[in-house]
Amino acid sequence: MQPMDSRTQARGGVITQADPDRVTVRTRLPAGVLTLDQLRGIGEIAERYGADQVHLTTRQTIELPHLDPDRIEEIARDLEANGTPLGAERHEVVNIVACPGTDRCKYANVETIGLARALDERFFGKDLPVKVRISIAGCPNGCNNALLNEIGIIGRIRPVRTPGLCTGCGTCVHYCREQAVTIRNGACVLDENRCDLCGMCIQSCPYSLIRAEDRHYLILIGGRSGRHPTIGRELIRVDTPEKVIGVVERVIYWVYRKSRANRLLGEQLDEMDVDRLRADLEKEFGSGPAQAP
Ligand code: SF4
Ligand code: SF4
Ligand code: SF4
């Protein structure tokens, strides 16, 4: 077996298999979106190197299984030329996941795919003491489990009722999945403690009496799936994608400096003084702690 180029070996896109003579190659596909040419290209590369199938992963990447480890350098070059380079799975920032967001989903509060690409460009593959998974959801429905990632980003919006004009028809009550709206004395009343800022009631009102305000991104830290799934802690909310990128940059630097290897990020947040990080972010990004209105 030929030795792999050290840069290739150091990246997590090459995964050993149960069969020691074969490897799986993972690709880098932010938000799991690729062009039709890239899709065809992956099929051609898989065929060229003897794979008779590909595998779609939970992190929205494509893997090429059962490849010859002696040909990794050629495979990596071909994948790079296809615009779908080697991926990551070690202690680094791995493939960034996003739901369709405003590109397609009628429930979305924020754009997600462009944000995933921008984060990928800045942070993908960054070497860290721990693995960092990032997931972006366009609304609190969280179809892609943003709550269970080391960094979760969720688009939210605040529904504001127009006083005096509500007919009490109950449509927004029907659409609210949090039982946050009730009809009292012929008009709807919002329980702010139950509202998760999903915004689903806004478009439901047949008289357009619910305004959308305070569109923002809630950023959570330290979530994990696996053996002991844990929901991430609320870190901060910010109102622009540029601020999301700024917060993620600070968080990744903080993880680089303060986390310890061989443990999940979510297990060491208190030792790393996450409250201090939150306070520093609030000073810099000026948005206050993430809370319901
Ligand atoms: S998380 Fe929300 S915006 Fe994203 S796909 Fe699901 S429902 Fe749509
Ligand atoms: S924004 Fe709040 S009130 Fe409206 S549907 Fe969502 S949870 Fe219910
Ligand atoms: S849907 Fe509109 S009119 Fe009907 S109860 Fe809700 S806010 Fe009032």
Atom of ligand 2 nearest to the CA of 159: 1
| Residue 180 vs residues 174, 185, 198: alpha-carbon distances, Å | 10, 16, 11
Between the CA of 100 and the centroid of ligand 1 the distance, in Å, is: 7
Which of 91-100, 157-166, 257-266 has the lowest average pLDDT? 157-166
CATH superfamily name and code, 97-156+214-285: Sulfite Reductase Hemoprotein, domain 1 (3.30.413.10)
Residue 12 has pLDDT above 90, yes or no: no
Q: Classify 92 as helix, strand or coil.
A: strand
pLDDT tens readout for residues 273-290: 999 999 999 999 976 544
Task: Look at 240 and 161; give whichever has higher pLDDT.
Answer: 240
CATH number of 6-81: 3.30.70.3340
Rounded CA-CA distance 122/245 in Å is 9
Please give the distance of CA 124 from its chain centroid, rounded to a whole number: 13
List the chain domain ranges: 6-81, 97-156+214-285, 158-213
Q: Do domains 6-81 and 158-213 have the same CATH topology?
A: yes
Atom of ligand 3 nearest to the CA of 169: 4
Query: Mutate which of 60, 97, 102, 105 to test ligand 1's pocket (most atoms within 8 Å of Cβ)?
Result: 105
Ligand 3 touching residue 209 (CB < 6 A): yes
Report CA Rg, the chain.
22
Q: How confident is the model at residue 89 (pLDDT cuts 50, 70, 90)?
A: confident
pLDDT the model gives residue 113: 98
pLDDT tens readout for residues 115-141: 999 999 999 999 999 999 999 999 999
CATH architecture of the domain with residue range 158-213: 2-Layer Sandwich (3.30)
Output the average pLDDT for the chain: 93
pLDDT tens readout for residues 191-203: 999 999 999 999 9
